[in-house]
Copies of this chain bind each other. A is one copy, B any other.
Amino acid sequence: MSGWVIIAGLGPGAEDLVTPDVSDALAEATDIVGYIPYVARVPERPGLTKHASDNRVELDRAAHALAMAAEGRRVVVVSSGDPGVFAMASAVFEAVEAGAPEWRDLDIRVLPGITAMLAAAARAGAPLGHDFCAINLSDNLKPWQVIEKRLRLAAEADFAMAFYNPRSKSRPEGFERTLQVLNEACGDARPVIFARAVSTPDESIRVVPLPDCTADMADMRTVVLVGSSRTRIIRRAGAPIIYTPRSAL
């Protein structure tokens, strides 16, 4: 019995943003577990079994991966981006803590990946070049009051901000309230970056002053970056460069 679980980050979409570390793990796996579109990114090969599941079943998926590893299989749980940022790593550890005692002693590793906010920031310039925060706007596992409190405190701290899961069909109003809170708390026209499907053929980057933002500019494939009060725009012939200076002096 020499099974293991590796929770691996596939990055935002492009194959050349997958680290060799993750590629090696995928090559050694007997089983791939994950959300349907991420599992689909791993090529078929003899000896590899793919277990694709829908979203919102993260804990079941994690328990399945751990049970297979306990039987000696080499399991890679795939996430997009980085598995430790609003992705599968916490779900696997929740399942470990709640599960069979012997699961604690399994060989479990997390392999980092390029998370969406860093890929998006790179496309826009360097909007996260000074202190920043990352907030998951999904209210599936978090009351709106917590989100609103964090938004107001983040604005007061003058963090640049990255928002994951800004909007879904099941809760269209959340991002609209987010924009209202930000306009109240920031009170300026700082740039907001809507980065959709970065590094895929569907990529689009849109830069909009905060007061002009509307909720329909984001969907679940969008990561939203909001500048701090000091974020700069360099205008030029092509797309503008958005960056936050290193200094707060």
Contact = CB atoms under 8 A, between A and B. Distances in A.
B246 A143 contact: no
Contacts of A91: 246
Given A90-B244, A131-B150, A134-B133, A122 B83 contact: yes
A132 B133 contact: yes
B111 A112 contact: no
A246 B130 contact: no
Contact of A89 (B20, B114, B126): B126
Given A85-B128, A236-B105, A17 B16 contact: no
Interface string A123-152: 101111111111110000111001001100
Contact of A143 (B89, B127, B158, B248): B248
Q: Is the interface of A mostly helix, strand, loop or mixed?
A: mixed
A116 B123 CA distance: 20
Nearest to A145: B248
A113 B238 CA distance: 24
A104 to B, nearest CB: 4
A110 B117 CA distance: 13
A131 B122 contact: no
A40 interface: no
Interface of A: 11, 14-21, 24, 58, 82-86, 89-94, 96-97, 104-105, 108-115, 118-119, 121-123, 125-136, 141-143, 146, 149-150, 153-154, 156-159, 232, 234-238, 241, 243-249
20 contacts: A17-B20, A17-B21, A82-B118, A84-B126, A86-B130, A90-B126, A90-B130, A92-B126, A94-B243, A108-B241, A110-B121, A110-B125, A110-B126, A112-B118, A112-B121, A128-B134, A133-B157, A149-B157, A150-B159, A153-B156
